[in-house]
Structure 1
């Protein structure tokens, strides 16, 4: 606002999407003037009076548009005063004076009544009550949109009386008030009126009056000036009460609400209250009731409220007539302000019951990540998954059901990023290897070998003689440390060796070779008659004396070495025992194998049926079929063996059967059974009577055993004496089956 012409400056602030740019600004200043261009700021002069609303529109390179409307601006010209006068030149002090001002084009009038405060009106008249008698000068200035015109001076006279008084009570007697008259003017009549309706009057200039114990009593001072005929009065209301402070309970839990109120209170709507309860002060406030959260433990003996009815009143202090006991757990735990992500958060609980007898019966920890929970007194160390700030809280409930919660903020700091390339490298001794550590934080390298390198650089190059292990740490601004490692395997020269000397074996024997060291790639040659040529300990069976060479190399081909083993092959002895022989039972025989010239020792098994177990040509008798094995040893210690069978001929003569038997239990010929030689077993032994009926049968038993014979009984009944027929099916030691049948006489 102001007087035209006025120059205004306009500025725009624009937010654009990525890639967009303003190509044109269109300014409309609201007075018919429109300007376009690429300037984000504009200046315009408004030549005349009026209200103007400027707008700006923009266009972007993407074809988009936007507009903004500025707050309206107002400009005017100085109004011309037509008239200004006092409508009431003389007025009683109890009344309001009236003033009038009229000006062309005026949108408002500023009035100065001599007290330093400007009153602005849009109407052409104003009323004002003055607080003192005599003449008062009033200034009025018309304005058009805050553009001022000529200021005119008006005058008014205030006559008569102006009623005023002061009052107060004392803290010793709050019901008794003193009133002091400080009115001005020609006072010809004065009356104090107490009550409504009036219950008592005083005509003294100053008075003292005792009011009821409770209530709101009206007090009026009435004045009169007989000369001017003016009258005036001053009024107030006196508030008295016997207030009583009431609380919701004598014992409460920590962090619960306690409610306080004032009964029989003052009815003064302007009273304020300052509360001092449960160790805290609240106010001054306008409410005669208070709900306060119990934040402190203990027995609070002093709880009171101060009632302030105004400057004329002595403040009234109202105390609670009983103490309030605040119970509950006294929570305290320690936690680090900052912890690295890879470190478990360790909490230490120092909580206890405020009163030792109020045992705490439950604990509840929350780690602030919707995952970590614990009901232990002290929770286990906790490892967070993400770095950020967490609100760790502890809640406890005691035997009274009182619950308290304590929350602390813990910042979990991120770990430094650390990545080493490569992590492992293999080189030949004498070569160099380089490692790069990727991080934005402070580095520190260390190694297992005494090597020369930059321990704080991101790139390390070494030429180790042996294997070396690197440990790398990265430390960030929070002193959090990440570790990584790398290693170099330095291939060292080696010597191939074998723990074997030249070794002799017999033809067709096998020998296990061996070569060291075992951590190399190996290849044996020649590979003929070898189990596997690429193992350290292959089996070989050479046909002739052979030198085996083991060639060893490391896996990278840096170094190689070889060793050898000579295997001497000795000739084996030979033995030909001849064909198997079939002899009659008890026939003599002589074994006559053919031997090679290098045979020096002989051993026959079984040797118990031969006349000599260590002779080249032993002899014996054919009482049973047997296999004889001869083992021979050459002059070089090599051995050979061969077998020959002596079979006893299988025929009926091999079975001897009695012609009669007498089962009379005299232990002589009591049973009839097969007596045989050269048989393996009896498959079937059957006996029949003269009617062809079977009376006995036995199967699969050894011959020459009376217990397998017939005792002359059939199902426990002795059979009649006479001739019986038998049938035998037997297996010889050669495996041949023979059948024998005949008759026998049972003698009774």
Structure 2
């Protein structure tokens, strides 16, 4: 068991060595001459592997690798797998680095050489030589979260289909590395050389191959093509391995543009070799490029700027480094005088004095070791107005004419590119100025039009093309005429060809708007062909009658100020109602009217044409609405009743029914209501307008509630007592004994014995009530009388510990302390006390200390202290 655990532990330690290993590679071949026995060729094959020596926990360069050769004629393996030893290693040098770098990255890469010779029979499609490994270095940005992504490096030897003679040497890429700073302009050298002097190389970015089934760095059985690509993450692919702002020069292999964020990126480049214009072979290399979080000062401009909408132009340095300390701009426009130069980082917009080409120059950090200069051409040619001709809806399978309508003040359009917007097609484009295109399927197509002048002004427009099954064609709607009428039929077109049928009672069968006068109901059909040869048809039915039919509502009566609708049953098409001033729309068949006169005669002329019509009168009478009124006793005192009286109609309904003796009479009684009520009565009139009207009446019930103050109160002898009654506006106290005034709400009493006072409280409408107060007189001096114990058991007996204040005007404080001196309760309100809790916790049985200070009714200060026992 221990041995098994040791093996597992060693295996786990070994796994990271394969998890981050290879940085890049390529397979090179060299032609050595004909093979023995003829009909074969000898080649020297070299595998270059690249390793990041600073990679932590990574495997060393493999001491040997296994490679496979595959016949492209039948995709079978040629011979056995070949084990190739490491023959030498070499360092990779930095071949491109910006000057004056900060946070310079530390690079240490090495390359390994694996070489063998092989003799291959000459075939048609050549051979693929492959090496596969399980692992690249980890944390590669453009393949996202994929881990342990392997790689396949191949060399492709051409066959007789591209090179009958067979003597070809592959291209080979430079092995240096470039320092690339994040979000900065950069140059990455992926150039290659070819030992064959007449070969021409063409470069492109391609997807990098994954490792297939490889499980370790020395995978012994590489598979035959085809090979799958690494799983690129969103925003990246083989054509854009460094994002959308980096491109490759097809002639030099130099990748340049704006770098992405710091990280590692797989970049794979394919170089095609051509000899005398004929394709020979493909060769590829991929390498994991490091983009570092470094920075450098530089002046960076686009090669060419265009100003096509005015003479004013704004520029800025494309490198926003904090290392750019000074700026010297020259706009190349001496005629602008002092405005021709600027020392600002973001110079003000420059207005050029004329049209033309100007040389823009920027120098950053002038006269310092980190100075840099950039120039660009500013092409100032305003007055560029891109446009295209109208594109009316058109039928399928007919040529659509696209027209360039661009105008330019300077120069003329010399470049056009139309994309006619057919999805899933790549040949729906044209470089002609005014092309035609035939759409086969109806729909809406979003086309694209790019136009450029010989002065460099360029813009993109987006025409919308509508293709239909048939031309847009419509004619008059079905209608009605009398036998004496003539009708003009209308269409929406005025070009193309049209033919009407039948040729009956029509003045011109080829007119777009003919006149017809049938004696019987007839359906006319128009067959139309537009100028593109696209056809359709439409029909219109002309119903023919001898006269106008008309049935109207009877004379009627409505409530005055109401509206109503006058309804007609007719085949007429046009209507004229009078008097128009009380009609909402006097030209419709069934208008809404709002008469106010006692009687109005409405007259209508209903016609099919000015020759064919009929007339009718309708009398509408109006009667007024009933007028609802309510009277009654309000306000009333609580406990009284009120007589309510309504008028204005013959039928009554009261609401709510609360306290009413009858809700269906004009004069119900609200019997001793206990609260105020808002009554409404609905009044109807059986003699006039039958519609109800409503009136409301607020019955206000006043209830006086007398309050003489606390039911019981205590004073000491010779202590004046201020009584305080509330509840009304008029007060009468009895008896008058000891009182200074019996007719006010707050008299003063100087009682000499116990006494009970009664107060009568009333208001200005006679509502009244009484209340009493018992006054107990103590023949004791004013003082605080405090009990010795209390039992807070919530039984209602002696639950609260508080002082009894006799003759006390003001309690300054009443404090209680526990045996540790903690203040457990304090109050300054007479009548309040302690419930035996401290911070919400009931206190145990024990002795507590209290202190009190008060002022009596004569202004004398009284200070007391003592003990109290809390009993549980």
Q: TM-score, normalised by structure 1?
A: 0.29
Whose strand fraction is larger, Structure 1's or Structure 2's? 1
